[in-house]
């Protein structure tokens, strides 16, 4: 009851007055007690999610401001890692350049390919549709079978491409496909595209099957003339949620190219021809053990992924307008 004196204050900040705050917490406690079964269901997943996904991101951001080599205690150095990374690390810039080339080419191409193939497959009869879905989806689920491209582009005459070209008489000596920086990037992009019809491809196929069929009829009445107009004015806007989801998955994957590059071109690749941000991260993180520096690389990558996702989501809102 002594708190009556404070009645003037709640007008300004109702929640921060002691009694208001107490009420807030009392209400909060009541809510939590009422929903405790929900929290119990949620807890096991969330604990592991925080421990293995959120906490690592936080740790990574903190370490990016330190000098840390796993032997000595981390030492706070402020923005030094970032300034070294952005202004004094030529190899990182090669990595950034390659990553951007990858993501600008493979990102949109695979995104559009995912949609285009899903759209074409959707017009087939159900049996053929199931078969084609399998054909396009198989590379991305068959895991590490992409090593087969290493044999296809093998640098001796047993490589399928070399053998084929030599037989045709286009070349007389085998080309060192995966050792020559001239070809390396292109081949990795090709393999990346081969692998990229995955989760978002399935999401698009599924999305297409749920578009309301009556919309097409209504569209025909309203003067939609051909399939392209149908696509732009009816199909795409109906699938906007799936398009968003697909974009997130594709952008993230295309900025994180590394496994294919390391498997095909070797690590480090000749003249850093296939070096990417992630291979740079692997280099500092697991070979040189400069954890602070590696964390700065990871943070830059994280910011790039978030930024490009936000931009693309803004663009996608305009589809069909």
Partner 1 sequence: MKLAIRLNKKVNRSWQVDALLFLALAGFGSFMAIPLIYVINNAFKPLDELFIFPPTLFVRNATLENFANLFQVMKNSWVPFSRYIFNTVFITAAGTAGHILLASAAAYPLAKHRFRGSKVLFTVVVLSLMFSPHVTAIPNYMIMSALGWMDTYQAVIVPAFAYPLGLYLMKQFMEQIPDALLEAAKIDGASEYRIFWQVVMPLVKPAWLTLLILMMQMLWGTDGGSFIYSEQLKTLHYAMGQIIQGGIARAGVGAAVAVIMMTVPIVTFILSQSNVIQTMASSGMKD
Kindly give, in sequence order, each residue whose CB lies less than 8 Å from that of residue 238, ignoring residues fewer than 6 positions away. 207, 211, 212, 215
Does 45 contact partner 1 by CB under 8 A? yes
For partner 1, which stretch binds (CB under 8 A), given 4-12, 90-98, 264-272, 294-302? 294-302
Q: DSSP secondary-structure letter at 225?
A: -
Kindly list the distances between the CA atom of residue 246 and the CA atoms of 100, 108, 196, 240, in Å, as whole numbers in the listed order.
19, 11, 11, 10
What Rg value do the Cα atoms of the chain yield, rounded? 27
Does 113 contact partner 1 by CB under 8 A? yes
Does 15 contact partner 1 by CB under 8 A? no
**Binds partner 1 (CB under 8 A): choice among 249, 261, 264, 274:** 249
Residue 166 CB, shortest distance to partner 1, in Å, is 7
Does 244 contact partner 1 by CB under 8 A? yes
Task: Tell me whether residue 20 or residue 163 sits nearer to partner 1 (CB atom).
Answer: 163
Contact set for partner 1, span 119-138 (CB under 8 A): 120-121, 130, 132-138
Does 309 contact partner 1 by CB under 8 A? yes
**Binds partner 1 (CB under 8 A): choice among 262, 265, 294, 296:** 294
Does 311 contact partner 1 by CB under 8 A? no
Task: Tell me whether residue 6 or residue 209 sits nearer to partner 1 (CB atom).
Answer: 209
Residue 299: burial class (beta carbons within 10 Å; 0-12, 13-18, 19+): buried
Q: Quick one: tokens of 18?
A: 């002691």
Task: Tell me whether residue 5 or residue 34 sits nearer to partner 1 (CB atom).
Answer: 34
Contact set for partner 1, span 55-94 (CB under 8 A): 55-57, 59-60, 63
Does 25 contact partner 1 by CB under 8 A? no
Residue 7 CB, shortest distance to partner 1, in Å, is 28
Neighbouring C-beta atoms of residue 56, cutoff 10 Å: 12
Does 241 contact partner 1 by CB under 8 A? yes
Q: Quick one: tokens of 314?
A: 């803004």
CA distance 98 to 261: 11
**Binds partner 1 (CB under 8 A): choice among 25, 39, 76, 87:** 39
- Opening angle at CA 11, ends 9 and 14, nearest 5: 80
**Binds partner 1 (CB under 8 A): choice among 101, 152, 175, 270:** 152
Q: DSSP secondary-structure letter at 76?
A: E
Residue 142 CB, shortest distance to partner 1, in Å, is 3
Does 24 contact partner 1 by CB under 8 A? no
For partner 1, which stretch binds (CB under 8 A), given 18-26, 34-42, 93-101, 177-185? 34-42
Residue 110's closest CA among 224, 199, 29? 199
Q: Quick one: tokens of 211?
A: 């578009």
CB burial readout 124-150, b (16+ within 10 A) else e: eeeeebeebbeebbebbeeeeebeebb
CA distance 64 to 66: 6
Contact set for partner 1, span 166-225 (CB under 8 A): 166-167, 194, 197, 199, 202-203, 205-207, 209-210, 216-217, 219-221, 224-225
Per DSSP, the three-state class of 158 is coil
Q: How far apart are the first and last CA of the chain?
A: 60
Residue 180 CB, shortest distance to partner 1, in Å, is 20
């Amino acid at each position: 009851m002594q708190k009556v004196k404070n009645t003037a204050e709640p007008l300004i900040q109702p929640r921060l007055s002691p009694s208001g705050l107490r009420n807030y917490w009392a209400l909060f406690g009541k809510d939590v007690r009422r929903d405790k079964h929900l929290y119990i269901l949620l807890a096991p997943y969330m604990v592991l999610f925080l421990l293995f996904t959120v906490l690592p991101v936080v740790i990574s951001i903190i370490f990016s401001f330190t000098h840390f080599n796993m032997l000595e205690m981390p030492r706070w150095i402020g923005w030094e890692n970032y300034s070294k990374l952005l202004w004094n690390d030529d190899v990182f810039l090669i990595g950034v350049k390659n990553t951007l080339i990858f993501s600008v080419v493979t990102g949109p191409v695979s995104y559009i390919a995912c949609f285009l193939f899903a759209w074409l497959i959707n017009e087939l009869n159900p049996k053929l549709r199931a078969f084609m879905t399998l054909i396009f989806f198989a590379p991305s689920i068959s895991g590490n079978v992409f090593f087969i491209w290493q044999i296809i582009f093998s640098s001796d005459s047993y490589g399928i491409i070399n053998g084929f070209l030599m037989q045709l008489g286009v070349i007389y000596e085998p080309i060192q496909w995966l050792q020559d920086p001239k070809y390396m990037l292109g081949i990795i992009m090709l393999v990346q595209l081969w692998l990229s019809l995955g989760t978002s491809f399935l999401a698009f196929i599924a999305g297409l099957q749920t578009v309301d069929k009556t919309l097409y009829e209504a569209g025909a009445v309203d003067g939609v003339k051909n399939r392209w107009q149908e696509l732009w004015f009816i199909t795409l806007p109906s699938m906007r949620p799936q398009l968003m989801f697909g974009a997130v998955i594709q952008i993230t994957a295309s900025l994180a190219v590394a496994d294919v590059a390391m498997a095909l071109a070797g690590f480090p690749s000749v003249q850093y021809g296939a070096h990417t941000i992630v291979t740079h991260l692997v280099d500092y993180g697991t070979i040189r053990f400069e954890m602070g520096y590696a964390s700065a690389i990871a943070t830059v990558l994280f910011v790039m992924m978030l930024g490009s996702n936000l931009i693309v989501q803004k663009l996608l809102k305009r589809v069909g307008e």
